[in-house]
Structure 1
Amino acid sequence: MKLSGVVENYKTLQSKYEGSWRRMWLLRPRVRTDGLYVSRNTYIRAGVAEWKITNPVHVVCYFRYIRFYPSGRFVYKNSSHKMKDVVKSMNFRAAKADCVYSGHYTLSDDKVEAAILYPGMRPTVLRIRLRVRGTTAGANNRMDLLSLVTSGVNRNEVNGPGEDILGVVEGWQDDETHNPDVPAVSHKRGMTPFVFVPFEEVETSVLNLPVDKMDYFVPG
């Protein structure tokens, strides 16, 4: 298997990057594993009017976190907590209370296909499609969220949370579900692009700022 991977890389090197390893390193899309991809999302929520004089609103902030591993696995978490407070739980040893879910992903050209399984009485799969890009050559420090779909899975299709759920749902349509009690839903909110933050910058990143200091972040 390793030999075939080396041969495939060499063929790609010759056919797409003029035999230059440096050119391939800079131009070939890749998933970074030395930090977290973070999507910071905000929305406006109406508050409770007092004395019928004002109509207050609140800016609500929440995050999507993804950490990729070279093995083709990843961990995912939705949270209102800042990055510096969740980074230690973004691994396969996370406690159940941390609500960190694991799944599998594939990379083809600049597209990432990923999926995780939410276990329970009605197992639900989250399918994620992303596009890798960079603000500079070779950075691979942004991921555009192309689609985010939840749908039901038949219990007979999965053996447990460690199964490669991505292989199970391969070829499914966006409106496809295998459990009529869990309809397929294509989510449109919280689609802000992911920004890559290396582990050494987690504590100091501006993404940790509260909404009163940064109400909106432009990923670039």
Structure 2
Amino acid sequence: MSTAQVLAPAGVHGAFSPPPRPWLSLYGVLLKPPPSYYLEDDGSLALIQRQFTDEMMTTIFSRLGPYAMGRAACVCRQWRYLAKSPKLWEAACRDALSPPAHRDIAADQLLKVLAHKFRCSWQRLFLEVPHVRFDGVYVARNTYIRVGAVELHRHSQTVFLACYYRYYRFFPNGQMLYRTSPHVLKAVVRSLARTPAALQAARANPAANRAAADDAQHVHSGRYCVADGRVRTVIVYPNARGTEVRARLALRSTSPGACNRLDVESLCTYDWETRTSSPFPTDPGADEDEAAYVGQGAERRAHTRGLATFMFVPWEEVMTSMVNLPVSKMDVMLTG
């Protein structure tokens, strides 16, 4: 019996014929690419598309942040094509993932990791590696119930819903600003818009700028680092005990590459009796073992309240964000 007879279905005589594969006819055929966007100038292009060349638009995009560039890519096909330039995403990756703040990828290993894990795509590297954002503020809205004093001739107590906020602002060089305030974001954004160097100069010479000196009294400078998808922060309060505040926050995103949530995993304070406070605290990535600190004379306190998730608010949404709503309009905020 021949091979053709074995492969032939029952009741069918002759050689076996394979099923039709029409795509085989496309092999070796050069398909004509669709016309490019800049060749379709039939009057439908906008004025900015006709007047600005690709090189000029790429230069403009290089001045934008990666998230603003992503929004610009949704405008038209030309901008989407230009926003995929590897040079733009390389600059964004080097700003967001550079030491000393980011410790997941060493500076000399960045190109090797890019080639082996992310297929030489800078955009994919930026979207998949957790990092903090520098184009806004992280805000946590905390609420708790507070019972008032007993009033005379009444059998009930007044109950209050108290609300306060925690703010983080990060910088690429590993420095950060932290503030706790009962005021909403739009009322404190001026103090968070300043740099740590400007606040330090205002503390040294308060008469030069009264507004900056007032902001410097409420905003604390510190350091942070990012490793294994977690942000470790440390600040030192300028008090007599040199209170050191350490926090461990988990980075996550509600959409690819957003990095717009910080979940508080731990918040501890250490009171140093025998050490004076310094303007820049110790390494935020150091060991957080309780025995290591207590053995050096520190009194450790772990906090279990006020651990609401931080939500990122970009600068352009500071005045219109829902975190500015008072308690009378929003008693509880679900960050998602």
Q: TM-score, normalised by structure 2?
A: 0.59
Q: How does 1:51-200 map to 2 (within 5 A)?
A: 51-90=153-192, 91=194, 92=196, 93=199, 94-95=212-213, 98-153=217-272, 155-156=274-275, 160-161=278-279, 163=280, 165-167=281-283, 170-174=286-290, 176-177=293-294, 180=297, 183-200=299-316
Confirm or deny that 1:40 pairs with 2:158. Answer: no
Confirm or deny that 1:217 pairs with 2:319. Answer: no
Gaps of 5+ in 1: none
What's the secondary structure of 1:95's corresponding residue? helix
What's the secondary structure of 1:166's corresponding residue? coil
Gaps of 5+ in 2: 1-97, 99-104, 200-211
What's the secondary structure of 1:85's corresponding residue? helix
| 1:43-74 deviation line (CA, Å, top 9, x unaligned) | 00112344324332110000000000011000
Deviation at 1:194, TM superposition (A): 0.3
Higher relative helix content: 2
Asked which structure has the greater RCO (Cα within 8 Å, sep 6+), the reply is 1
CA distance in 2, matches of 1:157, 1:53: 50
> Identity across aligned pairs (percent)?
40
Deviation at 1:114, TM superposition (A): 1.1
| 1:145-202 deviation line (CA, Å, top 9, x unaligned) | 11110012365575x31x2x1328822414633665x620011100001000001111
Higher relative strand content: 1
Deviation at 1:142, TM superposition (A): 0.3
Q: For the structure 1 residues 171 and 157, does the alpha-carbon distance in structure 2 shift closer, same or farther, using more than 3 Å as the test?
A: farther
Count of residues paired in the alignment: 214
What's the secondary structure of 1:87's corresponding residue? helix
Question: Aligned Cα RMSD in Å?
Answer: 2.3
Q: TM-score, normalised by structure 1?
A: 0.88
CA distance in 1, matches of 2:284, 2:165: 27
CA distance in 2, matches of 1:16, 1:95: 47
| 1:88-113 deviation line (CA, Å, top 9, x unaligned) | 11132253663211011111131111
